[in-house]
């Protein structure tokens, strides 16, 4: 049941992402031929107006099919409903709208969580024996206020600030102990798979305040985006192995199921916010079947001041599709390996 709920929730995230493309295409007068949640054979579909709305078999994404997106005949150049008849700045906005909507949804999920369940406050729950944190004097109950002069409030912000300190030999941490005592500590972290670790687990407490919830939602959205970008950078640079740094749909379904079973609703909202923001940023990668690939082609056309050859576009599309299929198969293999082990 938990896995089914995961894929339903993932479908909703994908639908909101595709809604961004859909709404701006409609705003600019582009005909949307298909709005699909999932890929592959259609499970069910219904045509409303000029658009066919589908749920497809493979629940790992979605797409909108825009009229004329892959090119047009010379006889159709004056057809105003074709995507390629629109100015390139409008095309660019349509491609960007999906990732932007995913980030906005992440923010909305965080705001809903913070207004409903309260704002999380990071506090040290435990300190590992002989860890860098213990040697520096951090104790359970300490609240981490700042890392390297960056203010932190949520556990995610603490993790992001420490994890992004890989170039620092020493990490400066400010903690609050008791009601009033504030302490500054310098910690030499332990590097594990290219990521700094200080040896603490972080618990959370909650306070309710709508104004602070708004600010906190913005800060956590920024921190989540930083986590995703930092993770991609570490993967591409080889600092983190794919086995450690990649999680696919099976792994996410398993994690979501465990969180749902524990009834930790605030963390579940934050998990889905992170997944939505991850979806938005991942789609900006310059791979042809992703929004980022289309943005890259469009940017190149703007620089060249002419359309790219259609044959080149199709080859780029086929290469990107093959790369995504390979990545998905590999990531699912890693997910299954983790479960078996």
Neighbours of 258 (CB within 10 A): 11
CA 292 vs CA 55, 173, 280, 282, 288: distances in Å: 24, 37, 10, 8, 7
Of the ranges 1-5, 102-106, 125-129, which one carries the lowest mean pLDDT score? 1-5
- Among the residue ranges 17-31, 71-85, 235-249, 321-335, the one predicted with the least confidence is 71-85
CA 335 from centroid of its chain's CA atoms:
18
> Does the pLDDT value for residue 273 go beyond 90?
yes
* Main-chain phi, psi angles of 152, to 5 degrees: -130, 145
Residue 1 has pLDDT above 60, yes or no: no
pLDDT score recorded for residue 2: 64
- Residue 99: pLDDT band by 50, 70, 90 thresholds? very high
CA–CA separation, 298 vs 284, rounded Å? Answer: 13
Higher pLDDT, 73 or 29: 29
State the chain's mean pLDDT as an integer. 87
Distance CA 291, CA 278 (A): 14
pLDDT for residue 280: 96
Give the Cα separation of 61 and 21 in Å (integer): 14
Mean pLDDT throughout 270-276? 91
Q: With a cut of 90, say whether residue 282 has pLDDT above it.
A: yes
Q: How large a percentage of the chain has pLDDT more than 70?
A: 95
Residue 201, pLDDT score: 86
Return d(Cα 18, Cα 102) in angstroms, integer.
9
**Long-range pairs of 31-38 with CB within 8 A, sequence gap ≥ 24:** 31/66, 31/67, 31/81, 31/82, 32/64, 32/65, 32/66, 32/67, 33/65, 33/66, 33/67, 34/63, 34/64, 34/65, 35/64, 36/62, 36/63, 36/64, 36/65, 37/11, 37/62, 38/11, 38/14, 38/62
Tens of pLDDT, residue by residue over 139-184, are: 998 988 888 888 887 777 788 788 776 666 788 999 999 888 899 9
pLDDT recorded at residue 82 = 92
Q: What is the mean pLDDT of residues 111-125?
A: 86
For the ranges 117-131, 157-171, 184-198, 314-328, the lowest mean pLDDT is seen at: 157-171
Percent above pLDDT 90 for the chain: 39
**Can you give the pLDDT at residue 286?**
92
For the chain, give the number of residues: 341
* Predicted confidence (pLDDT) at residue 305 exceeds the cutoff of 80: yes
Distance CA 180, CA 178 (A): 6
46, exposed or middle or buried, with CB in 10 Å at 0-12, 13-18, 19+? exposed
**Is 319's pLDDT higher than 80?**
yes
Say what the pTM is: 0.79
The better pLDDT of the pair 256, 188 is held by 188
Residue 130 is encoded by which pair of tokens? Answer: 């002989």
Q: What pLDDT sits at residue 108?
A: 97
The pLDDT of residue 167 is 60
Q: Which tens digit of pLDDT belongs to each residue from 35-66? A: 999 988 999 999 999 999 999 998 888 999 99
Q: Give the pLDDT confidence score for residue 31 in this predicted structure.
A: 95
How confident is the model at residue 75, as a pLDDT?
Answer: 53
Of 58, 173, 78, the residue nearest 127 (C-alpha): 173
pLDDT of residue 27: 97
The residue among 190 and 279 whose pLDDT is bigger is 279
Calpha distance 108→102 (Å, rounded): 10
Residue with tokens 């199709």: 314
Domains of the chain: 119-207 (2.30.42.10)
Is the pLDDT reported for residue 74 higher than 70? no
Tell whether the model's pLDDT for residue 251 goes beyond 90: no
């Amino acid at each position: 049941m938990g896995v089914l709920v995961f894929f339903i929730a993932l479908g909703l995230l994908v639908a909101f992402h595709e809604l961004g493309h859909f709404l701006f295409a409609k705003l600019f007068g582009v005909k949307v031929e298909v709005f699909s949640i999932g890929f592959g054979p259609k499970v069910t579909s219904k045509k409303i107006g000029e658009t066919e709305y589908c749920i497809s078999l493979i629940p790992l994404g979605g797409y909108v099919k825009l009229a004329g997106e892959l090119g047009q005949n010379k006889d159709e150049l004056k057809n105003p409903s074709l995507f390629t008849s629109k100015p390139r700045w409008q095309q660019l906005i349509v491609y960007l709208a999906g990732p932007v909507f995913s980030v906005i949804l992440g923010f909305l999920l965080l705001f809903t969580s913070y207004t409903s369940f309260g704002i999380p406050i990071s506090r040290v729950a435990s300190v590992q024996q002989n860890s860098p944190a213990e040697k520096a004097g951090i104790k359970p109950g300490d609240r981490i206020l700042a890392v390297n002069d960056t203010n932190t409030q949520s556990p995610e912000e603490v993790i992001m600030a420490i994890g992004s300190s890989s170039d620092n030999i020493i990490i400066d941490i400010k903690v609050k102990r008791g009601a009033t005592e504030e302490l500054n500590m310098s910690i030499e972290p332990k590097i594990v798979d290219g990521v700094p670790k200080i040896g603490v687990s972080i618990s959370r407490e909650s306070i309710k305040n709508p104004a602070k919830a708004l600010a906190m939602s913005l800060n956590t959205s920024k921190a989540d985006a930083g986590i995703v970008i930092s993770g991609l950078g570490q993967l591409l640079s080889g600092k983190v192995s794919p086995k450690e740094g990649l999680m696919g749909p099976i792994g996410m379904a398993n994690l979501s199921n465990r969180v749902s079973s524990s009834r930790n609703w605030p963390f579940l909202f934050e998990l889905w916010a992170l997944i939505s923001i991850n979806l938005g940023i991942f789609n900006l990668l310059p791979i042809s079947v992703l929004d980022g690939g289309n943005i890259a082609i469009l940017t190149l056309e703007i620089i060249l001041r002419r359309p790219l050859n259609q044959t080149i576009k199709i080859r780029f599309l086929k290469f990107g599709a093959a790369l995504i299929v390979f990545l998905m198969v590999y990531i699912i293999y890693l997910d299954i390996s983790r479960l078996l082990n």
